[in-house]
Amino acid sequence: MTLIRSLTFSAGLLLSSSQIAAHEFWIEASKHYGESDETVALILKVGETFRGSAQPLLPQEVERFVHITDQPRTIDGLLGDSRPAARITIAKGLNQIIHLTTPFSVRFGEGDERWANYVKLDGLDRQINQYSDIPKIVPVTERYVRCAKSLIKTDDQPVSDSLSGEMPFEFVLGGSWNRLRAGHHVITLFEGQNPLANVLIKAFRYKDRSVVSEAYSDVNGRARLNLPTADKYLISGVVIRPDENPNYDWISYWPSITIEVIN
């Protein structure tokens, strides 16, 4: 899958110097359950522990913004300073919302503690230690791509999440449901069509902005997470690889999915 690499290093550095501290990017839907033909607002957020600020929809930062029901439909969105970033009309069954960004870039200079904190916070040692010839201590350069998904359901028939194929890395929620209930749920991380192991996956609860469950994906790309109460949840992880662009050491991908559990 080809990613637009339109941001220059200097422009990306300006964008990223404040944003890299925020380790999550997600789609906040005004509701996750509704009726067919109902309008749902979509806010794009950046932050930490499910607490963040609304982001504008800037065309140069969007690789793909898609509403998937029986087929993908591009979301035009509301440009500039509009909040929400978009409004959609939801269809019968399961609605998948996909937002893939173009790459942002950042440089961690000498003495910059953010790199070590980032590696620790997101459990990246298992990934970066596979590559002996890429810098693991500062100075380090990186590009990162945000891969967000949200699920919105209508009507009373059971549905199942599936791989959209619209992003390089994507979470898929296991099982079928009419309404998601509290308890353990299996989430699978895919790279393309293939499950991906050794990625730390966290579930954040909206009410208290806390990590309520976390696990590394297994050889089948699966993590079993406990979503203990009725609430909205953000599930996220970070995939990091050596960057093929010679101007950067690493490229990371930040997949996320937002869902709602009800009683």
List, for residues 196-237, the tens digit of each pLDDT value: 999 999 999 999 999 999 999 999 999 999 999 999 999 999
Instruction: Report the pLDDT value the prediction gives residue 23, as an integer from 0 to 100.
Output: 72
Residue in 235, 186, 238 with CA at minimum distance from that of residue 206: 235
> d(Cα 224, Cα 184) in Å, to the nearest integer?
6
Cα of first residue to Cα of last residue in the chain, in angstroms, is: 39
| Torsion from C-alpha of 244, 246, 248, 249, nearest 10 degrees | 70
CA neighbor of 26 nearest in space, from 79, 85, 75, 68: 85
128 phi and psi angles, rounded to 5 deg: -70, -25
Q: Is the pLDDT of residue 17 over 90?
A: no
Are 72 and 135 in contact by the 8 Å Cβ rule? The answer is no
Range of lowest pLDDT (4-18, 47-61, 87-101, 158-172): 4-18
Mean pLDDT of the chain: 92
Residue 239, pLDDT above cutoff 80: yes
| Angstrom distance (rounded) from CA 17 to CA 142 | 12
Highest-confidence segment of 9-18, 22-31, 127-136: 127-136
